[in-house]
Amino acid sequence: MCECLLNNSVLLQELKNFYLLVVDSHASCGVLLSEVLNIPNVMVVTGSPNDILTAYRKAPLPLSYVPLRGSGFPSNMTFIQRVRTLVDYCFIRLLMDLLFIRTMDDMKVKFNINPERSYSESFSDSALVLYLADFGLEFPQPLLPGWLIT
């Protein structure tokens, strides 16, 4: 799908007239498209910032306090659940780097889209990231250290 988008010169020419690109967080081609067009992008994340891509967005991900999305763990995790969350995160992050990020890096090189920068660097360069949820609302306990509710 990304290759079809990046090969469509008519569409790319029409999109050059825009000043900003709004991208869904799960649409991996949006980051490449914003680099091809040389315009900033705004990323819209439909969930709270506790998924595996949060680290690539340079957002905080307190693994010992907030369970990963889809893990099914409660907000008051036991020590074993916290360790499992960390292990799962490291394993999934390794898989993401090996399978997804390398594929996107190869696509950047193929289409000559700033090949000196990695896809993960490009992914983290969004002008603005909008989260439509917050883990503070989904997982109210425990509060992170240093956070006060007034």
Look-up of token digits 């603005």: 128
142: in domain: no
Classify the C-alpha dihedral 117-121-123-124 as positive or negative. negative
140: in domain: no
Residue ranges for the chain with pLDDT beneath 50: none
Whole-number Å distance between alpha carbons of 46 and 25: 8
**What is the per-residue pLDDT for 27?**
84
150: in domain: no
Q: Do residues 43 and 129 make contact, with C-beta atoms less than 8 angstroms apart?
A: yes
112: in domain: yes
**What is the per-residue pLDDT for 80?**
94
141: in domain: no
Q: What is the pTM of this model?
A: 0.79
7: in domain: yes
Q: Residue 59 corresponds to which tokens in the numbers above? A: 């957002």
Whole-number Å distance between alpha carbons of 135 and 66: 7
Whole-number Å distance between alpha carbons of 37 and 33: 6
144: in domain: no
Q: Residue 149 corresponds to which tokens in the numbers above? A: 């509710």
139: in domain: no
Judge if the upstream peptide bond of residue 74 is cis by omega within 30 degrees of 0. Answer: no
Rounded to 5 degrees, what are φ and ψ at 4?
A: -60, -40
Q: How many domains does the chain have?
A: 1
Range of the domain at 108: 2-134
Q: Residue 107 corresponds to which tokens in the numbers above? A: 């696509």
